[in-house]
Amino acid sequence: MRKKPFHLAASAALLVTLSACGSSHTADTSASPAATAAATAAASSAAPAAATGPKTKLTYWTNDRGASDHIKAEIAKYNAENKDNIEVEVTIMADNYEQSLDVAFASNQAPDIIKTSGSNFAPFIKKGYLEPLDTYMTPEFKNRFKNLIIDDGNRVDNKIYSLPNYGITWRLIYNVDLFQKAGITAPPKTINEMVETAKKLTVAGKDIGAYGFAGNFKNNGGFGRSASPIVALSTGILDGFNFKTGKFDFASQIPMLEALRKMKQDGSMIPGFELLDIDPLRAQFAEGKIGMYINHASEPGVYKNQFPAKIKWSAAPLPTVDGTINGASPFSNATVWLTMSAKSANKAKAWKFIETMYGPEVLKTYQEDSVGISAVPDVLAVAKKPGFANMDLFLPNKYDALFPVVPAVTPEGKNLGDEALRYILEGGDVNKITTDLSARYNTALDKARQTGTTKNQPMPDFDAKNLQGSLVK
What one-character-per-residue DSSP string does 282-320 give? Answer: HHHHHTT-EEEEEEETTHHHIIIIIS--SS-EEEEPPPB
Rounded Cα–Cα distance for residues 212 and 342 (Å): 50
CATH at residue 195: 3.40.190.10
- pLDDT tens column, 128-148: 999 999 999 999 999 999 888
Are 186 and 223 in the same domain? Answer: yes
Are 136 and 271 in the same domain? Answer: no
Are 153 and 226 in the same domain? Answer: no
269 band by pLDDT with thresholds 50, 70 and 90: very high
- pLDDT tens column, 213-252: 999 998 777 899 899 999 999 999 999 999 999 999 999 9
Q: What is the pLDDT of residue 17?
A: 45
Rounded Cα–Cα distance for residues 472 and 449 (Å): 34
Residue 15 has pLDDT above 80, yes or no: no
Residue 10 has pLDDT above 60, yes or no: no
In degrees, to the nearest 5, what angle opens at C-alpha 233 toward C-alphas 228 and 238? 40
Element (H, E) at 181: helix 176-181
Grouping H, G, I as helix, E, B as strand and the rest as coil, residue 19 is: coil
Residue 472 within a domain: no
Are 130 and 254 in the same domain? Answer: no
- Reported as half-sphere exposure (CB side, CA atoms, 13 A), residue 60 has a value of 29
Q: Strands of 8-152 (E only): list them.
A: 14-18, 56-62, 86-93, 113-115, 130-131
Q: What percent of the chain has pLDDT over 70?
A: 89
Are 107 and 216 in the same domain? Answer: no
Residue 157 has a CB neighbour count (10 Å cut-off) of 10
Are 52 and 183 in the same domain? Answer: no
Q: What percent of the chain has pLDDT over 90?
A: 71
- Contact yes or no for 331/306 (Cβ under 8 A): no
Mean pLDDT of 391-405: 92
- pLDDT tens column, 298-347: 898 889 888 999 999 999 999 999 999 999 999 988 899 999 999 999 99
377 band by pLDDT with thresholds 50, 70 and 90: confident
Residue 290 within a domain: yes
- Contact yes or no for 455/152 (Cβ under 8 A): yes
Residue 23 has pLDDT above 90, yes or no: no
In degrees, to the nearest 5, what angle opens at C-alpha 54 toward C-alphas 51 and 60? 95
Q: What is the pLDDT of residue 50?
A: 52
Are 278 and 387 in the same domain? Answer: no
Are 306 and 354 in the same domain? Answer: no
Are 262 and 219 in the same domain? Answer: yes
Host domain of residue 367: 14-167+334-394
Residue 2 within a domain: no
Write b or e for each residue in 143-152: b if 16 or more Cβ atoms lie within 10 A of its Cβ, otherwise e: ebbeebebeb
Biggest alpha carbon–alpha carbon distance for the chain? 75
Rounded Cα–Cα distance for residues 174 and 196 (Å): 14
Tell me what the pLDDT averaged over the chain comes to: 88
> Total domain count for the chain?
2
Between the CA of residue 16 and those of 12, 87, 95, 298, what are the distances in Å?
11, 16, 12, 21
Are 229 and 259 in the same domain? Answer: yes
Are 160 and 260 in the same domain? Answer: no
Residue 6 within a domain: no
- Reported as half-sphere exposure (CB side, CA atoms, 13 A), residue 443 has a value of 10
Are 124 and 181 in the same domain? Answer: no
Grouping H, G, I as helix, E, B as strand and the rest as coil, residue 58 is: strand
> Running DSSP on this structure, what letter comes out for residue 387?
S
Residue 38 has pLDDT above 60, yes or no: no
Size of the chain, expressed as the number of residues it contains: 473
Residue 8 within a domain: no
Rounded Cα–Cα distance for residues 400 and 328 (Å): 6
Residue 1 within a domain: no
Rounded Cα–Cα distance for residues 315 and 23 (Å): 48
Residue 35 within a domain: yes
Q: What is the pLDDT of residue 52?
A: 66
**Can you give the C-alpha Rg of the chain in angstroms?**
24
Residue 75 has pLDDT above 90, yes or no: yes
